[in-house]
Chains A and B, each alone.
Chain A
Amino acid sequence: MTPAPSKQREMDQEAQSSQSSEAAAKAVLLEECEEQFGLLQKLQNEIILTDTEANDDQSNEAVNRLIAVTSELEQWQEMEPKLLTTSPEVLLAVGKEELQRLNNQLKMVLSCSQAKLDAQKKILKREQTWQAEKKEALNAVCEKITRLQLENEKSEHSVLQDMKRKINNLKDYHSSLMEMLSDMLAEHFPLPDPQGNGTKKKRAAAYDAEMNLISLSEIIERLTNKTLETPHDPYVITDDTFWPPYTEMLLRNGIATRHPEDCNKIRLENFFGI
């Protein structure tokens, strides 16, 4: 099947180039054309013969293709390049035309491949940025995973330790606060000095007689203890051991309030509202 096409093509090419040759060379070419055409007819007859002999067996297309390609390959291997004609004008004209066409085609190919290259570079850049982003995300997630794992690994024992530590810290803080409070109270709110007001007019002796004034810290301590231990009845009875100016001060500054019915009782005011 394939020998005929190659000859046909050659002939067609020659037929094409014959249009661009001069009169003298034309004759030569025409002769060659006639020759090739004769060959063509012969081959065509052979083909028709083989066609009618071996009716289309609808064999596998792939097999057909394989046969065709291998026989074409053999043809190309056998074929030797030969000049169309030895006439120089023809060759020159044909050569010029071919080279120009080739030049144009190569220019097109060049620009096309440049464009493709640019497109591919863009794609590459985009993919690289994408990859960088994903890597960052991956790193962040890995870190988080390790952190979570570490936390999960803390056994009960360590939790207990943490708790103990926190409790101790708080106790220390609490005690330091208490110390500071007592220091401050002792410094700024001392017990009234029995001898300080010693003037006969004030009858300070009457005061002293009933002594056992308790200090402000003592008062506050009693108030807080009563509130914490018996929250349903946080009232402390103000007897004579409470120095009245101090109780007045507590009441006026909103640290304590009186019992609504009984004026001798006071309680610690709510702090948590502040």
Chain B
Amino acid sequence: MALLTPFSKVPELNTATVLLVENEEELQSKLANALVQYKKDFNVNVRLARKLPLPVENKETRPRIDLIVFVVNLLSERSLQSVESSLAHLHSDCFLGKVCFLVTDARCGSHTQERLVSVRKLAASHQSPVLCAEHRTVDGVNAAAVRLLNILKVSAGMSPIATTALYLSSLTRCSVTSDLEED
């Protein structure tokens, strides 16, 4: 079974590659545009996919992937399921800082809350961060892009020496806490 491994290729100069995995393909293209257009010092390669495993044909030409972002739309059940099945195709070394979860529509309705909890549990079990994004406005997409760029920078190794992807993921990993009662 071909797993996506983190370090099997040499990285390119001053370039970071991010892979956006989304079942619905709603946010992918918008986010990709925002990522590429944002003013930054390094080049960003954005690759899009619906799910893992990635097609074998591109394997040679594909650059090393620095960050894998799983976009989960909380309004549909299939989104989460496809992400869960895709996770099986990742090498377990990827979870040391190269995986990030992005959820959208976290504020609409009650089913989304349950799914959000399950996404957070999933992320907590893999010690990866969860970002919440608002994908319907331009500002929301830009904000999500900026946050992703920050994480990407670190996982591509472009941050000052002491910040490694592993360290960042330990800092930002999702923790599932019990709900506090409000008085």
Contacts and interface: CB of A to CB of B under 8 A. Distances in A.
Interface of A: 1-2, 4-6, 8-10, 12-13, 15-16, 40-41, 44, 47-48, 51, 56, 58-59, 61, 64-65, 68-69, 72, 76, 98, 130
Contacts of A76: 162
A150 B158 CA distance: 76
Query: Which 5 pairs across A and B sit closest by C-beta, in order of nearness?
Result: A9-B157, A68-B96, A12-B157, A44-B10, A15-B13
A65 B96 contact: yes
B166 interface: yes
A5 B41 contact: no
30 contacts: A1-B7, A4-B7, A5-B165, A8-B11, A8-B157, A9-B157, A9-B159, A10-B161, A12-B14, A12-B158, A13-B160, A13-B161, A16-B14, A16-B41, A16-B158, A40-B10, A44-B7, A44-B10, A47-B8, A48-B8, A51-B5, A51-B7, A51-B8, A61-B125, A61-B126, A64-B92, A65-B166, A69-B170, A72-B167, A130-B183
A56 B4 CA distance: 11
B161 A9 contact: yes
- Dominant SS among interface residues on chain A: helix
A65 B125 CA distance: 12
B166 to A, nearest CB: 6
Give the contact-size bracket for chain B.
20 to 34
Given A8-B11, A16-B41, A61-B126, 12 more contacts: A1-B7, A8-B157, A9-B164, A13-B161, A47-B7, A59-B92, A61-B92, A61-B125, A64-B92, A65-B166, A69-B166, A130-B183
A64 B93 contact: yes
Given A56-B3, A61-B127, A13 B158 contact: yes
Given A12-B11, A15-B13, A15-B14, A72 B161 contact: no
Nearest to A130: B183
Nearest to B158: A12
A46 B178 CA distance: 44
B66 to A, nearest CB: 10
